[in-house]
Structure 1
Amino acid sequence: MDAINLKNYFFYVASFVVILAGVKMSSEIVVILFLAIFISSIFSSLLKLLQKQNIPKVLSYFFILVIVIFIGFMLAYVINISLKDFLTNLPIYEEKLKNLILNSIHLVQGYGVEIDKTKIMESLNFSSFFGVTTNIIGSISTFLSKFLLVVIGVAFILAESKSFQTKLKVIFRNNAKKLEHFNLFSFNIQKYFVVKSFTSFLTGFIITIMLSFFGVDYPILWGVIAMLFNFVPVVGSIIASFPAILLALMNLDVNATIWVSIFYIIINISISNILEPKLMGKELGLSPLIIFFSLIFWGYILGIVGMFLAVPITMTLKIAFDSNTSTHWLGILMSDLSRKKIRNKE
């Protein structure tokens, strides 16, 4: 029996590796499929709400498609226009950054500290320095150019949503408990994506207003970046804030830059650590360790877009485990129980 179990384990591991290799090779298609499923999960709730208001199904369906297309094209338009303008002004920003570093060196030298500014300026590669931001924005822009395929996928999934429920009832007609587990899984998935999308939009919207108030260049672009990177916990908010803070430092005074940094911290902590957990509930929390490794894993498998999808995919797996009594222990291992432990101690 032990030999048979061992063979089974090796079979499962080998199958898992082969599947992952296939996913990595077809990552462009898999990313489009995942995004279509996730976006459909968000808008299926709106579709049900519209139908409850006695709005015809066809009108509800086309209304949602118009919203999805509008959001997609607006994101692509804002990022492409802002990126072109940013690249045009890149030499100006490089020169401003050089002057900023030189002024900082002179300031430090004024306190008697000897610094070889020639070596420092030679060691700094400003093109690569700004290239990080450009590459990130360029990757998002390239991906949004394929958004039409995502919209087509969303259209077909939403069109099949009603008949899919009927199919499930036929499949599980002799097993009501499995149907209940699947409905619980579906409800929690929709809840997660709706809340996460709302908090991400709120983060981007508030940051856009804040940057506009301080006069930072391209506030809408950095707001969109903040919204997208809100799907990448901890690291995402830092990466999203870096370009805007750097531009504030080059174009504004030090006091304004400090205030921009403080507001970035306040906005992200207030929404991600206070509002989001209240809306989602403790049962939808992921362990920080799981989040960290999921970012590395899915980033490697699916590229930079995989980092945006890492937490949604991992959360989907956790919810699937939680929805079934036989795999509930896996959901517990993936959960963040730190708050629960603190309350128990108290």
Structure 2
Amino acid sequence: MTEPRARARTLTILVGSAAFVVVVAGMMSINGIVGPTFLAVCLTVTVHPLRHVLARVGLPAWAGTVACVLAVYAILLTFAVALVLSGARFAELLTRYEDEFQRWLTDIKDLLNQWGVGDSELDQIFSRLDIRAVAPYVAEAVSSATSVTGNILLILVLLLFMALDGSVIPRLAAKVPERHRSTVDALADFATGTRRYFVVATVFGVLVALADVVLLYALGVPEPWLWGVLSLITGYIPNIGFVLGLVPPALLALFDSGWQTALWVIVGYCVINFVIQSVFQPKIVGDSVGLSATVSMVSLIFWTVILGAWGAILAIPATLLVTKILVDRDPDTRWMSPLIAGREPVA
């Protein structure tokens, strides 16, 4: 009995692995559709409680639908505009510090000369360095992060129809036969966990952004409120988001006030991030969505590879969806839940 059972398990693992590869390859081939669609789903379930709030104060159902549509449109457009403005402003400010940039290159070249690096090699390297050449890369990064040119219309249309269907989905879900109840409950848990995650991430993101603004004001870094908004947006990217929000103010501090100010910016951002986002936030996020810090980091890498820039923002909700459907509701795989959550199961 043991040998046939072992063979069956091996066959199951091989078939499951092959299916996993096929699914991942398929998602990567259409990530331009999967990413925006899943973002629309996450935004829709996040603002869904607004419908119930308006219903309790006596407003008709259509008012809740309109409020949900306007809310998700406002969230999406605000973040997209903030990213575009921050990228454009960063590129513009960099061009003002061309002389400072050249002086830094000269100092670095002199230092490398003292260490024995020849002038010919340095000239070949430094001749290609131009601060103005950074602007196109900044614009490309912002375009990749927002996907405004190709996906904004798709997301807006999806959000509209999902918000319209949001008024009838709960009633239809309540009529699902009992044998399919576990799937409906898993989707409900996903919606609840997604709302909790975005609420927690937003609260901590606002705290970090305000602390960053105070720090940048104190150090005299240009456009502190703009980098505070950027810090809030990048805060939705687990673990490494603060690094992405740190680069623009650190570079501007370097060129505007010198390496000492840039160092203080880096130290201040690291301290703020460690205290708020590395000590308190992981504990609360873990309790809210049931994902350990290690799983969060692995999911960030995994979903970014599959979905690109969308995956960096949607890593936690995507992992939460997979966990709720394939792990928590399956008696054969439920034993993995404590390992994924990184804590003992609640009695």
Shorter-chain TM-score above 0.5: yes
Higher alpha-carbon deviation: 1-10 or 43-52: 1-10
Structure 1 residues 230, 26: CA separation in 2 closer, same or farther (over 3 Å shift)?
same
Equivalent pairs counted in the alignment come to: 336
The offset of 1:34, in angstroms, is: 0.8
Alignment correspondent of 1:344:
none
Q: Is the 8 A contact 1:200 1:230 kept in 2?
A: yes
Taking the aligned partners of 1:135 and 1:60, their CA distance within structure 2 comes to 37
Alignment correspondent of 2:204:
199
Structure 1 residues 169, 77: CA separation in 2 closer, same or farther (over 3 Å shift)?
closer
- Tell me which of 216, 227, 245 is aligned to 2:250: 245
Structure 1 residues 265, 50: CA separation in 2 closer, same or farther (over 3 Å shift)?
farther
Query: For residues 235-266 of structure 1, what are the alpha-carbon distances to aligned partners after superposition, in whole Å with 9 as ceiling and x for unaligned?
Result: 22223212211111110144433332232123
Q: Does 1:21 align with 2:25?
A: yes
Alignment correspondent of 2:305:
300
The offset of 1:308, in angstroms, is: 2.3
Q: Does 1:126 align with 2:129?
A: yes
Structure 1 residues 151, 199: CA separation in 2 closer, same or farther (over 3 Å shift)?
farther
The offset of 1:105, in angstroms, is: 6.1
**What letter is aligned with 1:293?**
V
1:71-90 alignment, distance < 5 Å: 71-90=75-94
- Tell me which of 142, 154, 158 is aligned to 1:153: 158
Alignment correspondent of 2:67:
63
Gaps of at least 5 residues in structure 2 are none
Query: For residues 78-122 of structure 1, what are the alpha-carbon distances to aligned partners after superposition, in whole Å with 9 as ceiling and x for unaligned?
Result: 43344344434544434422312434666899xx86666774464
**What letter is aligned with 2:244?**
I
Taking the aligned partners of 1:278 and 1:295, their CA distance within structure 2 comes to 17
Taking the aligned partners of 1:191 and 1:320, their CA distance within structure 2 comes to 18
Taking the aligned partners of 1:263 and 1:246, their CA distance within structure 2 comes to 14
Q: Does 1:336 align with 2:342?
A: yes
**What letter is aligned with 1:40?**
T
1:202-281 alignment, distance < 5 Å: 202-277=207-282, 279-280=284-285
Q: Is the 8 A contact 1:231 1:311 kept in 2?
A: no
The offset of 1:32, in angstroms, is: 0.9
Q: Is the 8 A contact 1:189 1:319 kept in 2?
A: no
Query: For residues 286-322 of structure 1, what are the alpha-carbon distances to aligned partners after superposition, in whole Å with 9 as ceiling and x for unaligned?
Result: 3444334323322221123222222331233334456
**What letter is aligned with 1:80?**
V
Taking the aligned partners of 1:120 and 1:50, their CA distance within structure 2 comes to 65
Q: Is the 8 A contact 2:44 2:68 kept in 1?
A: no
Structure 1 residues 308, 152: CA separation in 2 closer, same or farther (over 3 Å shift)?
same
The offset of 1:35, in angstroms, is: 0.3
**What letter is aligned with 1:247?**
L
Taking the aligned partners of 1:160 and 1:228, their CA distance within structure 2 comes to 28
Taking the aligned partners of 1:310 and 1:75, their CA distance within structure 2 comes to 18
Query: For residues 14-70 of structure 1, what are the alpha-carbon distances to aligned partners after superposition, in whole Å with 9 as ceiling and x for unaligned?
Result: 332222222111110101111001111211123323323333322232223223223
Structure 1 residues 7, 244: CA separation in 2 closer, same or farther (over 3 Å shift)?
same
- Tell me which of 11, 27, 40 is aligned to 2:44: 40
Taking the aligned partners of 1:19 and 1:92, their CA distance within structure 2 comes to 48
Q: Is the 8 A contact 1:184 1:323 kept in 2?
A: no
1:1-12 alignment, distance < 5 Å: 1-2=4-5, 6-12=10-16
Alignment correspondent of 1:187:
192
The offset of 1:159, in angstroms, is: 2.2
The offset of 1:270, in angstroms, is: 3.0
The offset of 1:181, in angstroms, is: 5.3
Q: Is the 8 A contact 2:35 2:310 kept in 1?
A: yes
Taking the aligned partners of 1:84 and 1:253, their CA distance within structure 2 comes to 23
Structure 1 residues 71, 51: CA separation in 2 closer, same or farther (over 3 Å shift)?
same
Residue identity over aligned pairs, in percent, reads 23
